[in-house]
Structure formats: C-alpha cells, structure tokens
C-alpha cells in the first residue's frame, strides 16, 4: 500500500483526503483509470507504474482480508475490523511518509510546482491535477513570478 500511496502523490499530485477516500469502485484497472472524488471530479489515467502498484495492492489486500466489506481502496488492519467501515486514518498516511523525511502535502506541492515550472500553463495544471483555476495560478506565479501582473487589485 505504501508504494501506491507515494506514487499517487508523487506522480499524480493527489492530496491526503483524496488518497484516503478513494473507493475500490473508483479504480478501473481494465480501462486504466482512477476517479478522484472531490468538488470537481477528476480522472487520473494510470501510467504503467501506478497500474502495477495498484494491481499488486489489490492482490495483497484480497490475500490479507478476503472477506472485508470495507469499500475503500486503502485499508489497514484497524479499518477492516471496524464495523463502521472507515477509510484509513491520517496516522496511516503520515506513517508512510515519515521514514522518507517528507510529508504528503509537501510532496504534492512539490509535484505540482515542478509541473508549473515545466509548462507555465494554468489550464494544463487544472487538467493534470484536477485543481481549481485559482490554485493553478498560485502555482504558476510561484514558479514564474515574472508572470504576475503588477496591477493593483
């Protein structure tokens, strides 16, 4: 699970809540897509690495907990035993990143900022990461301060 979570954040810029709240039904390996549920629905097209990691995680998940009814893609020993069927906790996601010396949010920000440096196109950022226009512009201005208007607001 840890490799999948790190890859989803590092490659596709998913946030903590988005990652924790992915449902099994959101993953379509046959079509190579992952639906990210948020204010603006976002589709992630799976690259080969994510496809392999997701397949491996599903196999591992089924071997460990074949009878769980938990609908979330990411589960832990605690969440499969909880009759409320919750998503994994933030403690679980934090524990994944702690040994790396990173935080999930910092890695996500770095990924989006790197893409902003490459393209300088806010529409591209909106499409790739499913972020709002205002957020995309913040990243563009951080990556390219010369693009910020000098006009007073």
Q: List, for residues 8-63, the tens digit of each pLDDT value.
A: 999 999 999 999 999 999 999 999 999 998 777 899 999 999 999 999 999 999 99
Mean pLDDT of 104-124: 97
Cα angle 69, 5, 34 (rounded to 5 degrees) comes to 70
Average pLDDT, the chain: 94
Residues 35 and 78 in one domain: yes
Last residue of a domain, one of 87, 102, 117: 102
Secondary structure E strands in the chain: 27-28, 33-36, 42-45
How far is Cα 77 from Cα 73, in angstroms, rounded to an integer?
Answer: 13
pTM: 0.90
Strand order in the sheet with 27-28: 27-28, 33-36, 42-45
Residues 86 and 118 in one domain: no
How far is Cα 104 from Cα 32, in angstroms, rounded to an integer?
Answer: 24
At residue 105, does pLDDT exceed 70?
Answer: yes
Q: Which domain holds residue 112?
A: 103-153
Residues 26 and 61 in one domain: yes
Partners of 43 in the β-ladder: 35
Residues 11 and 1 in one domain: yes
Count helices and strands in the chain by DSSP H and E runs? 8, 3
Residues 38 and 75 in one domain: yes
Q: Look at the chain and report how many structural domains it folds into.
A: 2
Residues 130 and 87 in one domain: no
Residues 18 and 69 in one domain: yes
Residues 148 and 78 in one domain: no
Residues 69 and 121 in one domain: no
Mean pLDDT of 130-135: 94
pLDDT at 151: 45
């Amino acid at each position: 699970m840890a490799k999948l979570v790190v890859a989803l954040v590092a490659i596709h810029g998913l946030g903590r809540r988005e990652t924790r709240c992915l449902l099994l039904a959101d993953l379509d390996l046959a079509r190579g897509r992952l639906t990210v549920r948020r204010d603006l629905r976002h589709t992630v097209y799976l690259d080969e690495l994510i496809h392999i990691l997701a397949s491996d995680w599903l196999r591992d998940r089924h071997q460990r907990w074949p009878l769980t009814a938990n609908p979330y893609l990411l589960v832990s020993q605690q969440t499969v035993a909880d009759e409320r069927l919750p998503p994994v906790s933030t403690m679980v996601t934090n524990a994944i990143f702690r040994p790396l010396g990173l935080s999930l949010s910092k890695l996500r920000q770095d990924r989006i900022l790197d893409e902003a440096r490459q393209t300088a196109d806010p529409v591209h950022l909106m499409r790739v990461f499913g972020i709002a226009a205002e957020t995309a512009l913040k990243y563009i201005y951080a990556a390219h301060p010369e693009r910020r208007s000098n006009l007073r607001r």
